[in-house]
Amino acid sequence: PDDLKAVLDLRAPNRADRDRLVADALRRYLTMPLHGEDRGDLAIINSVATELNAEAEDALSYQVPL
């Protein structure tokens, strides 16, 4: 649409900037889950995996052989 193109031209006046802006916007949009998809939980878990693994190792260190 013309209104969107006008704003895009203001924000990114040259072609390289425009291409980069559109590509970045599409990348972000395409990583969003579709309705019914639940990528959010996995992303949260993966972002703190190191801390979660350290906590699990700490908890396991308290176990004693039976």
Structure tokens at 17: 């900037």
Radius of gyration, CA atoms only, the chain: 22
pLDDT at residue 2 greater than cutoff 70 = yes
Condensed to tens digits (0 to 9), the pLDDT of residues 12-51 reads 999 999 999 999 999 999 887 777 677 677 888 899 999 9
pLDDT number for residue 39: 67
Q: For 54-58, what is the mean pLDDT?
A: 94
User: How many Cβ atoms are within 10 Å of 8's Cβ, its own excluded?
Assistant: 15
Amino acid letter, residue 11: R
pLDDT number for residue 45: 87
DSSP H or E segment with residue 34: none
Termini Cα distance of the chain: 70
